[in-house]
Amino acid sequence: MPLAIDFGTSNTVAALWDADTQEARSLPLADLTVARTDPHGREFHVVPSLMHFHERGQWTGQQVVARDLLAAPGTFRWMKSYTGSGMKLPRTLFGKSIDNFDAAAAFLTQVINAAGIHADLSDEEVAFTLPVECFEHAQSWLDGVVRAAGVLRPRYLDEASAAALGYAARVRPGAPYLVFDFGGGTLDVSIVRSDETTDGTVHSRLLGKAGTQVGGSAMDQWLSKSTADTVLAGRDAASIRALMPRMLAEAERVKEVLSAVDAADFEITDPQGTLLAAHRWTRSALEDLMESHGLFDKVGAVLDAAESQARAHGYDRSTLQAVLLTGGSSLIPCVRRLVRSRYGELTRADRPFDAVAAGAAAFVAGAGFDDRVRHAYALRPYDRVSGQYVYKAIVPAGTPYPCTVMSPGDATKPLTLTIKASKENQTRCGLQIYEVADRTALATGTVDFVFDQNGAARYTARADEHDLTHRAIGSPTGIPCDPPAQPGEARFLATFTIDASKHLCATIQDTRSGRFLFRDHPLVKLT
């Protein structure tokens, strides 16, 4: 039976497609999962995204919660966010170094093994979801983990598309709708149109999508830091860092309580459970905190970006038939009010917690959709006038594939680039592709929240924004220059295509000899 796993920042869901009922259901995975009920009274199962290491082994998911180990030094949380941003942050535990990548790999392996009871991992396709703003290195890492765990036929789908498929049966074919997926680590928005084909199946076409790296875990950080600044101002920094893991768990609880009531006490306790301090938070104060961190502006910018792409396909806000909310953070009252104020009665929350996993299961079972390239891609040639390397975009975000890459200035003509040498008698030119994420994908604020090697929490200045938005992917493709090329010489002409497997391919001609050195040569796999 088709299986899907949605690895989330806060919770992970495994879902199985039932061919008889034509629906997906979340799987209970022994004591790794906990049963919950959505706002409509429907039961579903989640694995808390937690991994704890101890001297005799490890605990996973709900096993960690049941043993009250959320704030223990050996517990890893928010692993998805850390692996997605490439932050290993090793800790020394029981004489060995364990980082977030190790913890995430161990966590996923346990989930895959438990879910493998319900599917033949060596033969059947298994779907895994990724954020819209996911760099190539994160997908490559995930692919290595799942294959090592015994999944021989993995497939990948972005979370926004999966959520759209999870809701597709509830939306009229031919109608465009918006999916607002706001979870623990990311906000992903997609605008999708579902078309019914002649054989009765539903084909979902993506019209626009955008995302940003902010979610419930960021709110927990803001809440913890603000509380510490208020009631722990007289304590030394080291003692505050030691308390922070327990404060994060308390912040998550308070945030969830404030979604139901108007006030809640944030209690700060030591490892023995002794109450050290308390601070009363109101729902309005929490909303003010979110606003001060630019959350609502960030949400608005992502919605604007997705709508702008959809308008390019002839669909504006007035054409939307439904706005579908998924992810735990979408249930926060002020967030729901923001979305509802923009889209009115179109806003729905039929299955906020398991739509992504359910849609991924539908995808691997055969539900189709028209996907697009998520990021922009660029080259970085040397500019002899400025004496610097500059980025030159060649593939815009949202490009459908397979296709010929067209000129930005004239969409009727293929993009043709001239490749020149940068030094005397150059015998080889390198062609390096860079993946470019939109700056709106960066987390709100100027600091990152991290754990040190002993498990204590701290804030650190963000890396340079430029490094976060431009990443070299794959290895440079070497173009031989025979005879050697000279500076300023227009030595090669390059055109590009994207094949059906989402590979960016290059055709390169030597202008001296007229000979083609490469024809549709795959350079990198796009995301």
Which residues, in sequence order, are bridge partners of residue 209? 190
Q: Which residue has the higher pLDDT, 78 or 460?
A: 78
Q: Pick from 522, 527, 523: which is nearest to 373 by CA?
A: 527
93-102, 123-132, 164-173, 245-254: lowest mean pLDDT where? 164-173
60 and 184: one domain?
A: yes
186 and 210: one domain?
A: yes
Q: What is the mean pLDDT of residues 149-159?
A: 87
355 and 389: one domain?
A: no
Model confidence at 298, pLDDT cuts 50, 70, 90, reads: very high
Structure token pair of residue 419: 């490749």
Domain-ending residue, one of 370, 404, 421: 370
Q: Pick from 390, 395, 365, 363: which is nearest to 499 by CA?
A: 395
Model confidence at 163, pLDDT cuts 50, 70, 90, reads: confident
Listed in sequence order, the residues at least 6 apart from 134 whose beta carbon sits closer than 8 Å to its beta carbon are: 84, 158, 374, 527
Structure token pair of residue 262: 């108007």
Q: What's the pLDDT at 346?
A: 92
384 and 339: one domain?
A: no
Assess if residue 230 is contained within a domain: no
Assess if residue 351 is contained within a domain: yes
Q: pTM of the entire structure?
A: 0.69
CA 365 to CA 355: how far, in whole Å?
Answer: 15
189 and 303: one domain?
A: yes
DSSP 442: S
User: Does residue 362 come out as left (phi exceeding 0), alpha (psi in the -120 to 50 range) or beta?
Assistant: alpha
The distance from CA 137 to its chain's CA centroid, rounded to whole angstroms, is 12
CA 225 to CA 231: how far, in whole Å?
Answer: 10
Q: What is the mean pLDDT of residues 421-434?
A: 87
Assess if residue 244 is contained within a domain: no
Q: Pick from 58, 44, 52, 43: which is nearest to 13 by CA?
A: 44
The distance from CA 261 to its chain's CA centroid, rounded to whole angstroms, is 30
Assess if residue 289 is contained within a domain: no
Domain-ending residue, one of 337, 353, 370: 370
204 and 348: one domain?
A: yes
User: Does residue 273 come out as left (phi exceeding 0), alpha (psi in the -120 to 50 range) or beta?
Assistant: left
Domain-ending residue, one of 370, 402, 421: 370
Q: What is the mean pLDDT of residues 87-101?
A: 93
Element (H, E) at 368: strand 368-370
CA 214 to CA 301: how far, in whole Å?
Answer: 12
Three-state secondary structure call for residue 254: helix
25 and 112: one domain?
A: yes
Is the Cβ–Cβ distance between 427 and 484 less than 8 Å? Answer: yes
Element (H, E) at 202: strand 202-212
Model confidence at 37, pLDDT cuts 50, 70, 90, reads: confident
Q: Pick from 271, 473, 266, 272: which is nearest to 375 by CA?
A: 473
33-42, 160-169, 426-435, 516-525: lowest mean pLDDT where? 160-169
91 and 186: one domain?
A: yes
pLDDT digits (tens, 9 = 90+) for 469-487: 677 877 788 899 999 999 8
pLDDT digits (tens, 9 = 90+) for 204-214: 677 888 888 88
pLDDT digits (tens, 9 = 90+) for 237-280: 888 888 888 899 899 999 989 988 999 999 998 877 889 999 99
CA 299 to CA 188: how far, in whole Å?
Answer: 10
Q: What is the mean pLDDT of residues 387-405?
A: 84
DSSP 421: B
Assess if residue 270 is contained within a domain: no
Whether 462 has a pLDDT exceeding 50, the answer reads: no
Q: Pick from 498, 523, 520: which is nearest to 403 by CA?
A: 498
DSSP 384: T
What's the number of domains the chain is made of? 2
Cβ neighbours around 350 below 10 Å, total: 16
**What CATH number is associated with residue 461?**
2.60.34
Distances (CA, A) of 122 to 147, 151, 240, 376: 10, 6, 48, 34
Q: What's the pLDDT at 223?
A: 96
319 and 392: one domain?
A: no
Distances (CA, A) of 64 to 70, 146, 298: 7, 22, 33
Tokens 């030159």 sit on residue: 392
426 and 308: one domain?
A: no
Assess if residue 233 is contained within a domain: no
Model confidence at 370, pLDDT cuts 50, 70, 90, reads: low
Report residue 202: phi and psi, to 5°. Answer: -105, 130
Domain that holds residue 199: 3-215+295-370
348 and 419: one domain?
A: no
Whether 457 has a pLDDT exceeding 50, the answer reads: no
236-250, 374-388, 504-518: lowest mean pLDDT where? 374-388
Assess if residue 143 is contained within a domain: yes
- State which of 167-181, 222-236, 360-374, 427-441 shows the largest mean pLDDT: 222-236
Whether 406 has a pLDDT exceeding 60, the answer reads: yes
| Torsion 224-225-229-232 (CA) sign | positive
- State which of 15-24, 56-65, 409-418, 482-491 shows the largest mean pLDDT: 56-65
Percentage of the chain modeled with pLDDT above 90 = 46
176 and 78: one domain?
A: yes
